[in-house]
Structure 1
Amino acid sequence: WMVESISKRDYVVVQSGLLLIALIVMAVNLIVDVLYAVINPRIRAA
């Protein structure tokens, strides 16, 4: 749907899609950071 929206120059859909992808990447990074601190106790002390 993103490629189709880009070719149709539907900027609202493209912006929404990019925002959604960015939010997903940020959420995954946060989850990985928290899980890494839980798994490795030395990181918590730092």
Structure 2
Amino acid sequence: MLDHLALGAKPLETLTPAQVRSQPSPADAVKALLTKQGKSTAPEVV
């Protein structure tokens, strides 16, 4: 997952708050990894 965390994000200290909010998150990394593994990223009904 660490490889997917990169996702092209820039160092936060160099960005404005608005730019930081648009950066990829750990959740984005998990979704990318699940997609790569062919697994669903849809929420499960509980």
TM-score bin (small chain): 0.3 to 0.5
Which protein is bigger by CA-based radius of gyration? 1
Comparing both chains, which one has the higher relative contact order based on Cα–Cα distances under 8 Å and sequence gaps of 6 or more? 2
Q: TM-score, normalised by structure 2?
A: 0.33
Give the number of the structure whose residues are more often helix, by fraction: 1
Q: TM-score, normalised by structure 1?
A: 0.33
